[in-house]
Structure 1
Amino acid sequence: MTVATAAPLAVERLDGTATGHEQVLTCHDPATGLRAIVAIHDTRLGPALGGTRFYPYGSEAEALTDVLRLSEGMTHKAAAAGLALGGGKAVILGDPATAKTPELLAAYGRFVDSLAGQYFTAADVGTTAQDLDVVATATRYVVGHNGGSGDSGFSTAYGVFSAMRATAEHRWGGAGLRGRRVGVEGLGKVGARLVALLLEEGAEVIVADRSATALTDVLERHPQVTARHSVLDAPVDVYAPCALGATLTPASVDDLRATIVCGAANNQLLDPSVAPQLQVRGITWVPDYVANAGGLIQVAGEIWERTADQVRGDVAAIGETVRAILRRCDDSGRLPSQVADEIVAERLAAASSSVDTEEVGA
């Protein structure tokens, strides 16, 4: 791959110690209009990997808050999935509809390349595989572009499905999802594929989406599906949020009729107080960063040159992670989110111990 060369970028290192981040760097390139931030949260397990969000933030402070939160979430997602990866994220400030140019994307690639493999980037809101093709002209530390493993939507959906099936079997026995009613909220590239997997499993599916086009497309392909204005308060066994986050609030949980919540959306809880409220109501919530790690697992497979079959097996293993979490919950009475966080902490601590041992041996 030919790596683009150009004038040096203006990169500034910020202090991320207050938020527990290893590195936080900003990049301004007046020639292309690039304004970007990369946050590397934790690399004890391996190099950081996370997508690049291109978004018209109201201020650089708002963008910084977002990238710090998202990068920490990637540490949890990678550790829970058992990946030898750390957590990182990047944001580009600006409206992708008007500010995105090949020159800007190439400059961003040079910014990523300056980190020398400490951070691998992928797509996120506002960026596409085609954009990453341009980024890849300036760095090899990019995954998920057209020369890689392709669209990760199916892997994310399959991971959510594996997590949901494991939870259903834990609660209801061997029949799992067969004959159960599942409400899928959001019919994008993940939600629509989840619908197909659920129908193949023998579940009854109810759907909702704000987009009439997305709704019509799914109903045309799967006429046995029922559409509703909302599935959150529908008479379902499983609620699968696959669109916007924060749909689970103290008020909405009171209306929830499902027994299981498991979906692809990030940050499903409005705040941490909702998790114990779900438990009090007898609802099992699978933490989103556990259930939706399939896309990360797929693009991470590019780094280690995993085959498609190996990646599918790795994604299916999300189900085993969920089973281990739920068994610990049964034994301790703790929340799934508490147990998942504990597993993440154990894996990070084990990585720290390994590093310390190697340093002493050296």
Structure 2
Amino acid sequence: MSRPLRADIDLDALRHNYQLACELAPHSRALAVIKADAYGHGAVACAQALADLAPAFAVATIEEALALRAGGISHPVVLLEGVFEAAEYALAAEHDFWCAIHSEWQLAALEQSELAQPLSCWIKFDSGMHRLGFTAEQVLGAKARLEACGKARDLHLMTHFASADSLTPDYFQQQMAAVTALAAQAELPLCLANSPATLAWPETHAAWNRPGIMLYGGDPLEGANDASRRLKPVMTLSSAIIAVREIAIGEPVGYSGRFVATRPTRIGVVACGYGDGYDRHAVDGTPVLVDGQETVLAGKVSMDMLTVDITDLPEAGVGSRVVLWGEGLEVNRVAASCDTISYTLLTGLLPRVPRHYHGGVGSAADDQGVAQLASAQPLDTHA
């Protein structure tokens, strides 16, 4: 009998969340962001599940884009950080990868490249994130050079918001004002909205949006709104109790004895630990579901196991199903108990946790968790 830990991936929920992003911005097209292995959910399987809905995908690296091509995905793929060395431009042209251009060296390298065809280029404006991108003046210069060099086509302007998720979005408004002013000069199609902006800021909805974490059911907003409450969790991480211990008053549990019983306590030992990607920073009291009932973590997370308090769940025992996040337990709640965000929990799930896929288009995934989904032809996005 295999270890009970598994991640169930609901591809119907993924499709629902993508369609919500489109519904919120009916006059925009939505890049489905599937970088970091689709935020831990499996990039090829998620791309296959969205192939009939999404006109294009977005990733961080050319390796991620090539993995999609190897998986049968023929849609355009945006490299959100562009290339990391000049030689990648030839591959990008060969495979129809669309490239962000965020720095002078990338621009110069493209001008000097020998390409099979011109590349779709997305000029990145640093509107205030101060991570990647050009100043407004540099954007206008980059546009002129790209138009002149014959190596670029379908130019777009993009930026990244630092605080679109905030309840006090003053800095977001500053960034929005900066990109609005530049857009009037640059006269280029825009790609502005990340997940929080897609959910909360209609004024950011432009030619393209790029929903990421929201596709996987993670709410990126500091305070949920009507739209984010409609998101459905895509990943449910679950396991089972493999042992039960009876602990007397005053007895410690786990490394360093962080949890000490204040009453006669039943402890359930769960097959999941930080070696699987469950965050070791989870505090006592982190929510957990056992047989559908909420209880709490009791003691430090170990590499392969964690311990939960099942004193008030007399029917719980060896074999009881444990949901660590997902179905019935929002990943954001667990993340808050780990002093982190849902992104880190989902992307941090390690390869030894088997993924099992359900739903989607065409045939469902098989029992080994390998999606058997038909890849649709991409929409014509060059018009």
How high is the TM-score relative to the length of structure 1?
Answer: 0.30
Structure with the larger strand share: 2
Compare relative contact order (CA 8 Å, sep 6+) and give the higher one, 1 or 2: 2
Structure with the larger helix share: 1
